[in-house]
Amino acid sequence: DLLIAGMPSIDLDDWETHTDYMGSITKDSQEAKWFWEILRDEFGATEHAKLMHFTTGSASVPGTGFSTLSGYGGGRCRFTLEGRTDQGPEYLPTAATCFNRLRVPKYTSKEQMASRLQMAIMGVQQFHEAAMGAPNAEADAAAAAAIARGGP
């Protein structure tokens, strides 16, 4: 069952171990440290799954862990954290789901990164709900207000 449905929870140590870095983010950069601190200290299981879904197109990890994460065409494709220096803090993170890549703009603080990650994964959920015919008007209004204020 695990091989079909994936792991019921996400092992952050396994995720971090099997992560590649590119662009302005390196394994030892401040942005990478913020990212893993946010996942460990501020995000719970629900946010972990939403971030996985945002980045890979699936909310679960293969039953054998992150080492066997696959990408476009079914081949192995590690999760990649990519730093973008061409986008400032007003931008939200984006993802290339075919390549399991999270593209993170240059943020000035851990709080700013956490806020923008939260907005990005919340936006995907709202898009999915709207596409499925179950829009959440209250959440849409809250998200619009947060964006107008410059963040949650």
Catalytic residues: 98
Q: Can you give the length of the chain in residues?
A: 152
Q: CA–CA separation, 36 vs 130, rounded Å?
A: 30
- Name the residue among 108, 95, 116 with its Cα closest to residue 38: 116
Q: What is d(CA 130, CA 152) in angstroms, rounded to the nearest whole number?
A: 21
What does the block give as tokens for 33?
Answer: 């440290």
Nearest to 124 by CA among 94, 103, 148: 94
H/E element, 130: helix 110-131
Which tokens hold the place of 141?
């209004």
Interatomic CA distance for residues 36 and 122, integer angstroms: 19
Under a CB-based contact definition with an 8 Å cutoff, are residues 105 and 89 in contact? Answer: yes
